[in-house]
Amino acid sequence: MTSIFEDLATSSGRALQFYKDDGNKCELIGTFSLMTQVVLGLLCLSSLIVKRFYEYPIRRTWNVWLFDVSKQILGALGLHIFNVCLSILKTSDMNLLKNFNATDDSSDIDEDPCDWYFLNIVFDCTIGVFIFYLVFKYMNSICKNQFHMTNIESGQYGESTGKPSFKAFLKQTAVYFFSLMLTKLFIYAIMECFETQLLWISSHVLLVWLTPYPDEIEIFVVMFIVPIIMNCLQLILVDNIIQNPLINQMNTLVYTEGQSRILNNSSTTDGAVGKLIDGERAASNIQTGNKSNGTKYGSCEDDT
């Protein structure tokens, strides 16, 4: 799963680099791919910035937001290295074990790193997110209930909204990264068990239409188009998992109550406007309560 996982050096996409060998394979290393990944990383990071502005009426402070995003970037750096090594290992001509066990059927499958990279993205950004959610939730429960660790509630960094606790950030990042690695190993095991079938589907079904085109087209699709869609969605979902859950709960409460009041008074325009104002006041009251409650609510700010 978990490129989550790709950094700004791909906060989203595995920053693989490509070169073309004599066999015209999509291999790792090259300027074109590097430039593509830089643009990809910036675009995916921008999706989290946009998401923050849609947190209404209460949103995280910039300091808290940076801490949350930094978890994904650090996790992406580690998993990016893992993914690159995996792609090289799985497609290397020096993979003696694979050559020794090769059969006539498996020889028909193109050993193209783009295929493996594509599979990593699909798995990481779909079932990987769900598996990560379960693992992350379980790991937090163990750390809190069994080891009695403090300040590990994800997205909560102490009482100060202007200066979040760096110690709490390190603890939460460690839990996050460990959960990430467990998820990745689980996904890797699935891919190993169904290696032949998955590679065949990838090269002969999902990516076969790219065969007639130049290698740059395949790189652009596999390294940019697919990751920009999948990883933006993944980053947003994971951000919802690791941020302070109270923010979404409070915003949902304010929105729900505000909408309910509007519907109950929809007979007149003035009534609807008045209820909207009530919703804004409710948000302000919640924010005031947050500031007085310290650690539990201290990681958000009002949208004023």
CB 114 within 8 A of CB 207: yes
Q: 243-253 burial, b if ≥16 CB within 10 A, otherwise e?
A: bbebbeebbee
| pTM for the full predicted model | 0.69
pLDDT at residue 13 in the model: 36
What is the torsional sign of CA 262, 265, 269, 271? Answer: negative
| For helices 31-53 and 62-91, angle between their N-to-C axes, nearest 10 degrees | 150
**What's the pLDDT at 303?**
57
The predicted structure's pLDDT at residue 36: 65
pLDDT at 16: 40
C-alpha 3/C-alpha 13 separation (Å) is: 7
The pLDDT score that the predictor gives to residue 298 is 45
**Predicted local confidence at residue 92, as pLDDT:** 64
Residue 57, preceding peptide bond in cis (omega within 30° of 0): yes
pLDDT in tens for each of the 304 residues of the chain? 544 444 333 333 333 444 444 445 555 456 766 676 677 778 888 999 999 988 888 889 999 999 999 999 888 887 777 767 766 776 664 455 545 555 444 444 445 667 777 777 888 888 899 999 999 999 999 999 998 898 889 999 987 667 889 999 999 999 999 999 899 889 888 888 887 888 788 777 777 888 788 877 877 787 778 878 888 889 999 999 999 988 888 888 887 877 666 556 544 334 433 444 444 444 445 444 544 444 444 456 655 4
